Structure 1
Amino acid sequence: MKKIIHKSATRGFANHGWLKSHHTFSFGNYQNSERMNFGMLRVLNDDVVQPKMGFGTHPHKNMEIISIPISGALSHKDSMHNQRAIEVGEVQVMSAGTGLTHSEFNDSKTDAVNFLQLWIIPEVENATPYYNQKMFDKADRKNKIQVLVSPKDKQIEGSLPINQQSIISMIDVDPGFNTEYQLKKGAYFFLIEGEISVENEMLEKRDAIGITDTNNVSIQAIKQSKLLVIDVPMH
């Protein structure tokens, strides 16, 4: 078993006033040769957007982009004529493929938006762009793994498809609950809230651990916790 631990405080940070962003991997002005990616997971940004602010129209190409709101709601508009808000409990998938443009905006006058954005390198370039979003029932991840995203050619029922052999899951665990995660490729465990032990490594809020070269990973909750698991090919 191989482990790599990324504590919350070691992430890159950018303060643009309207946007505060923590970067798990190299992004923008934060460049760290030892933090370029975890396998096909290229970006994991923890963004807070201030009220009535947002990202203007910008392009993407050949990247699988997954957005997960933590608090607030984020309005989305793209060149495929999608114009919707994503809210807490929803997951948004945008497969950029041959290319698209989009914008993201916080319409609230009072509340900031906090969301995670993941970029996963696709297994096939120049695919037809694709967009979808879905509300997931939180009861279905109470002390059990809930699959949010899976490969489009091996799609797990109820999940959103992407153009990569990757599975993204979430689990809400009660204090003292123990479980095991069955590794598919290599898995990156990102703790959204709480305190847990993953393979005897203690994680607190926004800490992460990447694990490879094993079949099962033990998870024990110390406090009420919300854990994101990103299972990706390593090569």
Structure 2
Amino acid sequence: MLDQTEGQIFLSEKRELSIINNYRSFSSIKEVACGNLIKFDDDTLKGGADVKITASQNCKVVIIPIVGAIELTDATGKNILIDAGGAYIFSISKGETYTIKNIYAEEMVNFVQIHQTNNGLKTPPKEVSFDLDFARNTLLPVGNGVHIGKYEGRSEDTFQLYGTIKSVFGFVVEGAFEFQNRLLETRDALLITLNNANEKLQIEFEALSNNAIIIIIEVETKA
């Protein structure tokens, strides 16, 4: 089938790196226009460390631990424990802060931070849990247009978008995928946009390694 999409690849080794004391952050899309997706960071905290994050604008935040568990303190002072296999979604206003802490004394933790503009509309926070091993070879909804899945080698899947959404952002957490005819390896990302506004966007992808994990995000872009 003729590919009617255009893509922008964000290679792992070309991500912007920030290191502050015991906190390391790789930004896939900093200074790049990705519609309502304004932040996608792959972060690591050393044992016992914490980091304070300030919102650059009104947005919805999705936190997904990849390795280990973290404690999040939101702008109201509420503490939430989030473990791998879970996520936490909340709204935050420009200038507000939240803190993420590694609950382990010595082991490092790895987590993903996703910020999406929300036009100032706040919604109640939500805790999400999922089992990637139980539901292999399928995408699981995390919330707010974010999906995650774990696949066996050579497993194929499709992702169909409906309505006005014409772009998706894919990030390979582990392993390798062929994603809409593009090769993505560990921590690579890709923004796919449909050229024809009258068609529905359908993404096809295939895992090229065992236990490959991918995050896919629906992205709202201006017409």
| Same fold flag (TM > 0.5) | yes
Q: What's the C-alpha RMSD, in Å, of the aligned pairs?
A: 2.0
Q: Which residue of 1 aligns with 2:12?
A: 8
The number of residue pairs the alignment matches comes to: 209
Query: What letter is aligned with 2:130?
Result: F
TM-score, L = length of structure 1: 0.82
Query: What letter is aligned with 2:139?
Result: I
CA-to-partner distance for each residue in 1:71-99, whole Å, 9 max, x for gaps?
11111122434212111011111111477
In structure 2, the CA distance between the partners of 1:20 and 1:67, relative to structure 1 (3 Å rule), is same
Q: Which residue of 1 aligns with 2:218?
A: 231
SS at match of 2:13: helix
Q: Gaps (5+ residues) in structure 1?
A: 27-34, 151-166
SS at match of 1:138: coil
Q: Which residue of 1 aligns with 2:74?
A: 78
TM-score, L = length of structure 2: 0.86
CA-to-partner distance for each residue in 1:117-146, whole Å, 9 max, x for gaps?
011011x32x34632222212246411111
Q: Which residue of 2 aligns with 1:130?
A: 124
- Measured in 2, the distance between the counterparts of 1:232 and 1:45 equals 16
For the 8 Å contact 1:196–1:219, the answer to whether it is kept is yes
- Measured in 2, the distance between the counterparts of 1:5 and 1:106 equals 31
Query: What letter is aligned with 1:178?
Result: E
- Measured in 1, the distance between the counterparts of 2:202 and 2:126 equals 31
Q: Which residue of 2 aligns with 1:121?
A: 117
One of 172, 183, 189 as aligned partner of 1:208: 189
One of 157, 161, 170 as aligned partner of 1:189: 170
Q: Which residue of 2 aligns with 1:104?
A: 100
Q: Which residue of 2 aligns with 1:17?
A: 21
Measured after TM superposition, the shift of residue 100 of structure 1 is 4.5
For the 8 Å contact 1:98–1:128, the answer to whether it is kept is no
Query: What letter is aligned with 1:104?
Result: I
CA-to-partner distance for each residue in 1:1-28, whole Å, 9 max, x for gaps?
11111111111011223011111122xx
Q: Which residue of 1 aligns with 2:33?
A: 37
- Measured in 2, the distance between the counterparts of 1:75 and 1:87 equals 9
- Measured in 1, the distance between the counterparts of 2:209 and 2:156 equals 12
In structure 2, the CA distance between the partners of 1:64 and 1:57, relative to structure 1 (3 Å rule), is closer
In structure 2, the CA distance between the partners of 1:87 and 1:56, relative to structure 1 (3 Å rule), is same
In structure 2, the CA distance between the partners of 1:149 and 1:175, relative to structure 1 (3 Å rule), is same
- Measured in 2, the distance between the counterparts of 1:222 and 1:79 equals 41
1:218 paired with 2:204, answer yes
- Measured in 2, the distance between the counterparts of 1:234 and 1:92 equals 24
- Measured in 1, the distance between the counterparts of 2:55 and 2:158 equals 39
Q: Which residue of 2 aligns with 1:169?
A: 147
Q: Which residue of 2 aligns with 1:142?
A: 136
- Measured in 1, the distance between the counterparts of 2:172 and 2:72 equals 26
* Range with bigger deviation, 191-200 or 48-57: 48-57
In structure 2, the CA distance between the partners of 1:56 and 1:178, relative to structure 1 (3 Å rule), is closer
